[in-house]
Amino acid sequence: MSYRPRASNGQLAPLLIGGSFLGVCVLAGGGTRQGLPVEAMLQLLSLPLIVYAGMRLAGRPLAAVTSIALVWFGLIAAWIAAQIIPLPPGLWTRLGGRDELLPELLAAGVPLGWHALSLDPDASLRALLALLPPFAIGLLALGLHGQQRVRLLQTILVFAIASAVLGLAQLAGGPDSPLRWHAVTNAQGAVGPFANRNHLATLLVISLPLATAQMINAGARIIAGEQRPRRTAALTVGIVAGVLLLLSLAMVRSRAGVVLAGLAAVAAALMLWHRHEDADQRPRAGVKRWLALAGIGGLVLAVQFGFWGLLQRFDADPMDDLRWTITRNTLVGAEHFGPLGVGAGGFIAAYQSVEPATDRQSVLINRAHNDWAEWWLEGGWPLAILPAAGLLLLLWRTYAAWKRRGDPAVWQRAAAIGLWLVLLHSLSDYPLRTTAIACVAAMLLAHLVARDPNEAP
């Protein structure tokens, strides 16, 4: 009989704190507007968590990649903070596009004094504060050992399923359902705890590789001869979670979600193939049947409930979609305002100044619907270079995860796939602008850059 020690209070406390905070962020942080009271609450809650996580991490040796990731995040925060610092008139007027703003300021009676680089310093400050919750959960995760971080990844899966169930209940309740928590939302679709159904799709897509990791590791243990009930239960949970996620993605009816789900399915197949290649064994027929049934069942349910709605949405020419026009104008604005940008949160003012009259709509354009373009416009070259550096870091850690073997490597691969899916979605939307997705992404990144998960706690 093997003995498995029970977790001490010192090990349970960070898990309970981290899981609770992560859950609150997912369920309450789905808004897309700045300055929401609930966002301020999450930022306040993150402050004691940062102190707690910092105390746990203090004095511990950090892996080189962990230090690199922390410096990378710190540089992003430092640049946003620098955009709020007032500049002397002689310097401010030399910034890109400011010479055109100067006559308007003088006409409005605003004296030519010191001005921040940011066109909207208050919005830049809110953008800086929005980094607190993801930093808090990421810092806490860095102080955990591998198995504890896996528990938090499983927590993401749990809250994704809860969000999916909420979305189905919203559909049942109709457009006036009290379960829709945001005043400005997709009233006809399933949005879960989010204001935008595309962001619910992001969470569900992120969770697909996590469900796959759950299935793969449980199935591998069964193949290895561990016929314990909890292994079978873990495999069943993973399969059921995967089917529910696929069904929910079809019900959300997000075009980006459907495309990303297809990519996630390919990645899941690669995870399954690579895991059994690592173990130098072929999956047993029973496990293969379970996995095949899971895929077929999810596909049938997705087609049955979501196909016709998706078909109607695909009838429109994707090139007519307004987001491509917005992205083009955003890139023009990025060139116009020069290498230092307009400041985090300054998108609306900057976009309105460069938008051609022929492109103007009856609705306010408040996002670029392409975060990569919006980062460049708001942050200039620094926020073009730093995300590119983040891509190199992610590429490095993805390669390392696929080179490793064993159960911990499977979860690292799932985390890497989830991050790539978020970044791909950011080409046509702004999922990382929500506290919920930002915190989930921070958790995934922390699992990738933390100390080797095979190390003892």
Q: How far apart are CA 47 and CA 53, in angstroms?
A: 10
Angstrom distance (rounded) from CA 121 to CA 63: 36
On whether the CB atoms of residues 241 and 183 are closer than 8 A, the answer is no
* Angle in degrees, CA 141, 31, 237, rounded to 5: 50
Give the model's pLDDT for residue 233.
73
What kind and span of H or E run contains 231?
helix 229-252
Tell me the two tokens of residue 322: 């307004």
Which residue matches tokens 């870091």?
393
CB atoms within 10 A of CB 152: 22
Up-side HSE of residue 322: CA atoms within 13 Å toward CB? 13
Per-residue pLDDT, 2 = 39
- What's the angle, vertex CA 375, arms to CA 372 and CA 380, rounded to 5? 125
Tokens describing residue 36: 């929401």
What does the pLDDT profile of the chain (457 residues) look like in tens digits?
A: 333 444 555 678 899 999 999 999 999 998 887 778 999 999 999 999 999 999 999 888 889 999 999 999 999 999 999 999 999 988 888 888 887 777 777 776 677 788 899 989 999 999 999 999 999 999 999 999 888 999 999 999 999 999 999 998 998 888 888 888 887 777 778 898 998 899 999 999 999 999 999 888 777 666 655 556 666 777 777 788 888 888 888 888 888 888 898 888 888 888 877 765 555 445 455 555 555 555 555 555 554 455 455 545 554 544 446 888 899 999 999 999 989 999 999 998 899 888 887 777 766 788 889 999 999 999 999 999 999 999 999 999 999 999 888 788 899 999 999 999 999 999 999 999 999 999 999 999 999 999 764 444 3
**pLDDT value at residue 129:** 96
Q: At how many degrees (to 10) do helices 285-314 and 229-252 cross? A: 10
Nearest to 48 by CA among 151, 140, 141, 143: 140
Start-end of H helices in 355-406: 371-379, 382-403
Q: Look-up: residue for tokens 């007519």? A: 320
pLDDT of residue 456: 41
Predicted confidence at residue 31, as pLDDT, reads 87
Residue tagged 């003088």 (tokens) = 106
β-strands 115-116, 86-87 pairing: antiparallel
Residue 290 confidence (pLDDT): 55
pLDDT at 293: 54
* Whole-number pLDDT of residue 236: 76
